[in-house]
Homo-oligomer: A and B are copies of this chain.
């Protein structure tokens, strides 16, 4: 029994609904996808619920579920995964937040939630803030791309059950973080104190004085949101025996992989946007297969087209993906199985994630040949009606690595 490797391609948000601009077909139905279709003919196919029927999943909860981590147990908010995606050192129990640098006036009313999309100087701005201690809690802050940052609180008696400081709109005063449970009072108190002290440091910071001189908006406050507790995730390799890598552009998914011990591989030209170099991503997968047993690939552009409510753009992206997956398939070693699916649907008629199930196909040299075309309707001829939480068991089966239960 030959043990195989696996490539799992997540077409982020590719699942869709009947679109009036596409003769009431879905983008996957409408697009010309000769490569996806020829693989489907040699694959086990069907539909997958990201969580359960009708449940609208985030990209974070669905990726966790796909990788075999129950999001109802390990997910309390987005913060920890964003922080891990910025390569912050995290410990289980830490409370982490996503943050924006923003601009407030003297009454703490938000003038710009992105501080004029500040591009430079954020590291310097944080120099006297990172490492701050309030009561017995140590605080870490790290800048991300542009106005983005992540914040980590480490200490005893903390809780993720606090409301956002970020009011999520301009013209509003920043919110005071409120404890959502009794155990969270300390956390809210420290978070509010942190925001206040950081504001005191930032508003007089030379970087901001310089920005104001240049007519730019000062990054004079940090607005935390999306609190979550860093979970203990059993390492993916320990759980499955598969040494994992990922080719993933977005920090959120990258962070999930990092916390699971799946090694991110940097691909020049992979942007996480429409302009991402998909062929370069597939070449990186083929290279990674030399050293890893399991490669997770996330392509974000399909989700962006869904959020942008652009069905024709989504068709175009799908056709580019088809070409890239064709390239991968042509060069796939014999001992590798290929899974293509999505983390959730992002219908162009909705402009956001939906709870519609997603198509899935699993190709192995000896997989049952169930499919015809790869789209939400054609896969109905196949055997799969699964939840994402089943997927890793099925991957273990098709890589001939599953342990036998019984004799």
A residues bordering B, Cβ < 8 Å?
1, 17-20, 24, 26, 42, 47, 51-62, 71, 75, 78, 226, 252, 347, 349-357, 364-370, 376-377, 380-386, 390, 392-397, 400, 402-407
Contact = CB atoms under 8 A, between A and B. Distances in A.
A366 B26 CA distance: 9
B395 A58 contact: no
Contacts of A60: 406-407
A370 B366 contact: no
Given A18-B366, A58-B406, A369-B377, A350 B393 contact: no
Contacts of A349: 365-366
A366 B17 contact: yes
B406 A52 contact: no
A34 to B, nearest CB: 20
Judged by DSSP, the binding face of A is loop
A71 B406 CA distance: 9
A192 B400 CA distance: 35
Given A61-B405, A405-B61, A54 B367 contact: no
Given A367-B17, A370-B380, A377-B370, A405 B1 contact: no
Contacts of A17: 364, 366-368
Nearest to A43: B18
A352 B245 CA distance: 29
A179 to B, nearest CB: 21
A356 B44 CA distance: 10
A55 B347 contact: no
B62 A406 contact: yes
Contacts of A353: 404
A58 B407 contact: yes
A24 B405 CA distance: 28
B369 A56 contact: no
Contacts of A62: 406
26 contacts: A17-B364, A17-B366, A17-B367, A19-B366, A20-B366, A52-B390, A53-B394, A54-B392, A54-B394, A54-B395, A55-B393, A56-B402, A56-B403, A56-B404, A56-B405, A58-B405, A58-B407, A59-B407, A60-B406, A78-B406, A226-B407, A349-B365, A353-B404, A354-B397, A368-B377, A380-B382
